[in-house]
């Protein structure tokens, strides 16, 4: 029996915990008790904690968007301005991990996830370089292998955006913002994708398109989209949409029990509580 929306997220008013930004994105929670997030136009990665509030963390950030940590706890970022995926070195500088494919520059890396084997999967639309269409001629989903090589996994998306693994890493979910749907791909043992299918159609009248997403420990998906934050069960059933005062772009699970949900929504950061813990980044 499919859960209900209230089984996963009890009805509540979202709490605004920080505001005054330009366009917030890419939230990720660190187990030491703080949230990092990007403000893309402000060219800054901020740090928020319950005790200290908001403080600049990296500036300039080369207009970073999606953020995550690798299995060693190092920050990894998609950079619009740098047109690259970067990772924090021991000296605190963000260094290039990948910035091209087959001799051509990447478009505008948007979001990313790190597999348990250390490989990095990321999306590469053109949002950060529009109206330029870039050098590649397509908007793809890529994998950065642990040896630094880059493989193209999918090349026919219109605007690939948020992505997430299922808890057992057998499925890779990818949003296509322009087509307003979320795809599911089987993730093979060799790291390649197969059997792509539309997992949930988000083409609704409400304003907003699928953007960022995360998965909880039971495999339910939380996807920003038309009308707010969509909650979808592992079978692709849309359980309901949680509205926010501003249009959400992305989210992260965190807090001491991984049941706090932090949502980046335009000029602010919001917080709600869920019943099922999210999958930890590391």
pLDDT above 90: residue 111: yes
Q: How much is the pTM?
A: 0.97
- The pLDDT assigned to 2 comes to 77
Residues 243-258 have pLDDT tens digits of 999 999 999 999 999 9
Mean pLDDT for the chain? 97
Residues 118-148 have pLDDT tens digits of 999 999 999 999 989 899 999 999 999 999 9
Tell me the average pLDDT across 78-92.
97
Within a domain: 278: no
Within a domain: 156: yes
Tell me the average pLDDT across 220-228.
98
pLDDT above 90: residue 179: yes
Within a domain: 280: no
Within a domain: 279: no
Within a domain: 20: yes
pLDDT above 80: residue 268: yes
Within a domain: 121: yes
CATH of the domain at 31: 2.120.10.30
Tell me the average pLDDT across 47-71.
97
Tell me the average pLDDT across 80-90.
97
- The pLDDT assigned to 222 comes to 98
pLDDT above 80: residue 32: yes
Our count of domains for the chain comes to 1
- The pLDDT assigned to 27 comes to 98
The whole-angstrom separation of Cα 162 and Cα 139 is 13
Tell me the average pLDDT across 84-95.
97
Within a domain: 30: yes
pLDDT above 90: residue 1: no
pLDDT above 80: residue 75: yes
pLDDT more than 70, % of the chain: 100
Within a domain: 281: no
pLDDT above 80: residue 23: yes
Range of the domain at 175: 5-273
């Amino acid at each position: 029996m499919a859960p209900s929306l209230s089984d996963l997220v009890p009805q509540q008013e979202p709490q605004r915990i920080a505001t005054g930004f330009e366009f917030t994105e890419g939230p990720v929670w660190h187990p030491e008790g703080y949230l990092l997030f990007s403000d893309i136009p402000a060219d800054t990665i901020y740090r928020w904690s319950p005790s200290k509030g908001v403080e600049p963390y990296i500036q300039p950030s080369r207009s970073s968007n999606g953020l995550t940590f690798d299995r060693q706890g190092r920050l990894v970022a998609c950079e619009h301005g740098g047109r690259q995926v970067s990772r924090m070195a021991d000296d605190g500088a963000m260094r290039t991990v990948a910035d091209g494919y087959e001799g051509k520059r990447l478009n505008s890396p948007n979001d990313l996830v790190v597999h348990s084997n250390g490989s990095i999967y990321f999306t590469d639309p053109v949002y950060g370089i529009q109206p330029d269409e870039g050098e590649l001629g397509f908007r793809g989903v890529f994998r950065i292998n642990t040896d630094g090589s880059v493989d193209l996994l999918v090349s026919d998306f219109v605007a690939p955006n948020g992505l997430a693994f299922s808890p057992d890493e057998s499925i890779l979910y990818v949003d296509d913002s322009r087509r307003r749907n979320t795809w599911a791909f089987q993730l093979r043992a060799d790291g390649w994708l197969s059997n792509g299918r539309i997992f949930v159609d988000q083409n609704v009248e409400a304003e907003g398109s699928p953007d960022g997403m995360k998965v909880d420990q039971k495999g339910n998906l939380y996807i920003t989209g038309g009308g707010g934050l969509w909650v979808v069960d592992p079978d692709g059933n849309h359980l309901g949409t949680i509205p926010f005062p501003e249009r959400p772009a992305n989210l992260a699970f965190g807090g001491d029990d991984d049941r706090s949900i932090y949502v980046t929504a335009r000029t602010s950061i919001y917080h709600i509580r869920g019943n099922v813990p999210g999958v930890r980044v590391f």
